[in-house]
């Protein structure tokens, strides 16, 4: 059975219909700011010492005070040494079912890190990223032939770092997304979830009416 790219698993978890459109449109590259935000994840010690002006002229998304406070809390956590001194960067990991890029491998034994260019939820990790993080941990475990019980998701624009454990719940979400990605051969129904649709890059193609358009049209 062919390997599913982890980016497809994340889309399957977000919206199967979005995955369908993304497969028809394989030329769409990530926006250029994604790579400059991801670079922040390799500069935490320098960012912690940076002036307000330096932080404001970087892709940091919080105020300098909030960002510094987040990084200070992060520095006090066990994970700090590992994430600021990764073993490897942008490593392709290939498992039994899926493959994708771990933005870092950290710790001993190594665990994978996914670096998100976006904003974290209030708690935990967004489901598409959780699914992707579980996929990375499973792929790394397959490669190394040893258990990998967790992965890390970093939100460097906010100085927030969260752990994803391979719980029953998270593994079930991963398996659901894998099944969707493997069996998708039709146009799935729309979600009817305006919060997700408003930030979907395929909403025009999909034809959903987002909240702002609905209000303009008086619905």
Contact positions vs ligand SF4 (CB under 6 A): 15, 17-18, 21, 190-191, 196-197, 200, 202-203, 206, 208
Nearest to ligand SF4 of 165, 176 (CB atom): 176
Nearest to ligand SF4 of 44, 126 (CB atom): 126
Nearest to ligand SF4 of 34, 206 (CB atom): 206
Q: Which residues contact 126 (CB under 8 A, 6 or more apart)?
A: 116, 118, 120
For the chain, give the secondary structure using H, E and C: CCCEEHHHHHHHHHCHHHHHHHHHCCCCCCCCHHHHHHHHCCCHHHHHCCCHHHHHCCCCCCCHHHHHHHHHHHHCCCHHHHHHCCCEEEEEEECCCEEEEEEEEECCCCEEEEECCCCCCCCCCCHHHHHHHHHHHHHHHHHHCCCCCEEEEEECCCCEEEEEECCHHHHHHHHHHHHHHHHCCCCCCCCCCHHHHHCCCCHHHHCCCCHHHHHHCCC
Q: How far is the CB of 178 from ligand SF4 (least distance, A)?
A: 19
Q: How far is the CB of 120 from ligand SF4 (least distance, A)?
A: 20
Q: How far is the CB of 205 from ligand SF4 (least distance, A)?
A: 8
Contact 94, 3 (CB under 8 A): yes
Nearest to ligand SF4 of 21, 44 (CB atom): 21
Nearest to ligand SF4 of 94, 212 (CB atom): 212
Q: How far is the CB of 119 from ligand SF4 (least distance, A)?
A: 18
Q: How far is the CB of 27 from ligand SF4 (least distance, A)?
A: 18
Cβ neighbours of 10 (radius 10 Å): 24
Nearest to ligand SF4 of 2, 24 (CB atom): 24
Q: How far is the CB of 184 from ligand SF4 (least distance, A)?
A: 12
């Amino acid at each position: 059975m062919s390997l599913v790219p982890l980016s497809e698993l994340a889309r399957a978890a977000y919206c199967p219909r979005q995955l369908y459109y993304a497969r028809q449109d394989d030329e769409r590259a990530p926006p250029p700011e994604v790579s400059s935000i991801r670079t922040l994840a390799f500069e935490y010690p320098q960012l912690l010492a940076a002036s307000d002006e330096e932080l404001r002229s970087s892709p940091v998304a919080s105020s300098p005070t909030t960002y510094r406070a987040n990084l200070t809390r992060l520095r006090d956590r066990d994970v700090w040494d590992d994430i600021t001194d990764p073993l490897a960067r942008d490593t392709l990991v290939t498992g039994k079912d899926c493959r994708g890029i771990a933005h870092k491998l950290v710790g001993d034994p190594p665990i994978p890190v996914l670096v998100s260019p976006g904003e974290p939820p209030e708690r935990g990790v967004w489901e598409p990223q959780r699914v992707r993080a579980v996929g990375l941990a499973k792929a790394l475990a397959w490669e190394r032939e040893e258990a990998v019980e967790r992965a890390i998701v970093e939100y460097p624009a906010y100085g927030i770092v969260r752990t994803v454990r391979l719980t029953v719940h998270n593994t079930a979400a991963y398996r659901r997304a894998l099944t969707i990605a493997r069996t998708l051969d039709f146009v799935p129904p729309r979600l009817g979830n305006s919060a997700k649709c408003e930030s979907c890059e395929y909403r025009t193609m999909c034809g959903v009416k987002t909240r702002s358009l609905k209000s303009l049209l008086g619905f």
